[in-house]
Structure 1
Amino acid sequence: MNYDIFNGDADGIISLLQLRLANPIESELVTGVKRDIGLLEKLTEKVGLSKTDKITVLDISMEKNRSGLVKALDGGTDVFYVDHHRAGDIPVSKHLDAHIDLDANTCTALIVDGVLNGEFHYWAITAAYGDNLIAKGDQLSKAAGLSVEQSEQLKELGTLINYNGYGAATEDLHFHPATLYRALLEYPCPFDVFANNSSPFYRLQKAYQEDMDNALAIKSDHQSDKLSLFELPNEPWARRISGVYGNLLANQSPKSAHGVLTENSDGTFTVSLRAPLLNKQGAGDICSQFETGGGRAAAAGINALPKELINDFIQAVEAFY
Structure 2
Amino acid sequence: MPRRIDVCNGDADGLCAVVQWRLAHPAQAELVTGLKRDIELLERVQAGPGDDVLVCDVSMQRNGAALRRLLAQGARVRYFDHHHPGEVPVHPHLQAHLDGDPRLCTSLLMDRFLQGRHRAWALVGAYGDNLGAEADRLAQAGGWDATQRAVLRRLGEAINYNAYGDTLADVHLAPGELFEHMLGHADPLQAWARDPVFAQLHERRCADLEQGLRAPLRWESAQAVVRELPDTPWSRRVVGVLANEMVLRDPARAQVVLQPRHGGYLVSLRAPQGTAGGADTLCRRFGGGGRAAAGGIDQLRDDQVPAFLAALEQTDWQAPPV
TM range (shorter): over 0.9
CA–CA distance in structure 1, aligned partners of residues 223 and 166 of structure 2: 28
Q: Which amino acid aligns with 2:106?
A: T
The equivalences for 1:1-321 within 5 A come to 1-43=3-45, 47=46, 49-196=47-194, 198-264=195-261, 266-291=262-287, 293-321=288-316
The Cα of 1:146 is off from its aligned counterpart by 1.4
Q: Which amino acid aligns with 1:210?
A: A
Q: Which amino acid aligns with 2:310?
A: Q
Could you give the per-residue CA deviations for residues 155-198 of structure 1, whole angstroms, max 9, x where no partner exists?
A: 111111000001111221111110000111111001102221x4
Q: Which amino acid aligns with 1:222?
A: W
Q: Which amino acid aligns with 1:310?
A: V
The Cα of 1:210 is off from its aligned counterpart by 1.5
What RMSD, in angstroms, separates the aligned Cα atoms of the two structures? 1.1
Could you give the per-residue CA deviations for residues 2-61 of structure 1, whole angstroms, max 9, x where no partner exists?
A: 211000100000000001111111122111111111101332xxx3x3112211100011
CA–CA distance in structure 2, aligned partners of residues 81 and 194 of structure 1: 29
- Show structure 1 runs of 5+ residues with no match: none
Q: Which amino acid aligns with 1:42?
A: R
Instruction: Give the aligned partner of residue 319 of structure 2.
Output: none
Secondary structure, counterpart of 2:48 in structure 1: coil
The Cα of 1:267 is off from its aligned counterpart by 2.2
CA–CA distance in structure 2, aligned partners of residues 144 and 26 of structure 1: 30
Could you give the per-residue CA deviations for residues 200-224 of structure 1, whole angstroms, max 9, x where no partner exists?
A: 2121022112211211211211111
CA–CA distance in structure 2, aligned partners of residues 56 and 309 of structure 1: 37
Q: Which runs of 4+ in 1 moved over 6 A?
A: none
Secondary structure, counterpart of 1:195 in structure 2: helix
Secondary structure, counterpart of 2:63 in structure 1: helix
Secondary structure, counterpart of 2:127 in structure 1: helix
